[in-house]
Amino acid sequence: MRLRVVGAMSGTSLDGVDAAVLETDGEAILGLGRSAYRPYAEAERAILRAALGTWPGDPAAEAAARVVEDAHADLLADLKGDALAVHGQTLAHDPGGRGTHQALDGAALATRLDRPVVWDFRSADVSLGGEGAPLAPAYHHACVRHAGIAEPVAILNLGGVGNLTWIDPARDVADAGALLAFDTGPANAPIDDLAQDWLGEPYDRDGWLAREGEADEALAAAILRHPYFFRVPPKSLDRDAWRERGADIDDLPPSHAAATWVRVIALSVAHGLSQCPAMPARVLVAGGGRRNPAIMDALRAACPCAVDPIESVGLDGDMLEAQAFAFLAVRVLRGLPTSFPGTTGVAAPVAGGIVSDPQGALDTVRARARHNARHGRGRGVSRGASGTR
């Protein structure tokens, strides 16, 4: 079942919406299409920042949802595919507590664009006891195989939060031991906040701020004593989990604060690698953090293996997560699992997601997926919130 899907991702760095076209059967990468980006204006970013930590029903959350929907509608109107896959904007993430909240109503977007939309990828996993994150590992596994890599490697995504996927490409994606995934710790978010507050810039361009400063090793080490780092993965974080503990860092002069956060990123990734089943042959870095030379230099100094941008194996580090949700959308339509015990800590593989199809264009595809499920494809998969709105 080969489909052409447009995936869209708005990450915790709050910079904008990425969109990418992917051709896939939900198991392998069959074609990479065009991509596009729609930045948030400063006024929009301010609305999103004000909504961080809020839940549905809060006026700030509703304002953020309107911003996110408008941005997606602008970006996706001219990108063609069999379906759209939208993640939305994470405003709050509390697995084991209130749940997870991604601002964007996929059903409203489907009606607005008159196109099928697959969305709400995280709720089913959280409702069944998983962390709800990270969700890209199944796609990372396909990426590594697509690149022809045979030995275990890790993909590190540096968005607002860092997350790591350890991959053994010799094993099938659903096999025990094929994947281990978890959030490593803070990434761009605290540095972006510093750059916004002190420079009026959305991020530390070329690592300039961090390069001007000197890391406070004692404060960096104090962050690594947070209970989170003593938890066994899989595990996940909210964007602002470090706000209270990191206050002492943010009280430093801005350049020293940025340098200290860079040191925290490097130490947390190195610690994350020590929690993997085996040291990967290399770490392939995606997300905006790979464009910060200060971060990349710090990672290379701290990690006991090679650290390279993911472009070194022919993949697009800016669009990897948008492509990932396109990939997951096809798995949703086929009834295949989107998360696993090794990626979110859920007890059994989960097939989550919601499908909103105002035209009924995907009825045939979904009927075929149901047929496959009835005949055994997807046995052992927990059914989550999959359905049509």
Where is the domain boundary, 289, 313, 337? Answer: 313
Identify whether 136 is part of a domain.
no
Same domain, 304 and 329: no
Same domain, 239 and 348: no
Same domain, 96 and 164: no
**Residue 314 burial (10 A CB sphere; 0-12, 13-18, 19+):** exposed
Q: How many domains does the chain have?
A: 2
Same domain, 152 and 218: yes
Where is the domain boundary, 266, 284, 313? Answer: 313
Residues 185-212: what's their mean pLDDT?
Answer: 93
Q: Which of 9-13, 88-92, 151-155, 172-176 has the lowest mean pLDDT?
A: 9-13
Residues 317-335: what's their mean pLDDT?
Answer: 96
Query: What's the mean per-residue pLDDT of the chain?
Result: 92
Residues 3-27: what's their mean pLDDT?
Answer: 95
Where is the domain boundary, 291, 313, 335? Answer: 313
For 39-73, how does the pLDDT look when each residue is reduced to its tens digit (9 = 90+)? 999 999 999 999 999 999 999 999 999 999 999 99
Residue 362, pLDDT score: 78
Domain of 298 in residue numbering reads as 148-313
Q: Which CATH number fits the domain that encloses residue 184?
A: 3.30.420.40
For 351-377, how does the pLDDT look when each residue is reduced to its tens digit (9 = 90+)? 999 999 987 877 765 565 455 556 544
Residue 45, pLDDT score: 94
Q: How far is CA 163 from the centre of its chain?
A: 8
Identify whether 137 is part of a domain.
no
Identify whether 142 is part of a domain.
no
**pLDDT band for position 181 (cuts 50, 70, 90):** very high
Identify whether 141 is part of a domain.
no
b/e 50-76 (16+ beta carbons within 10 angstroms → b): ebbbbeeeeebbebbbebbbebbeebb
Residue 361, pLDDT score: 75
Identify whether 79 is part of a domain.
yes
Angle at 124 between CA 121 and CA 125, to 5 degrees: 90
Identify whether 232 is part of a domain.
yes
Identify whether 389 is part of a domain.
no
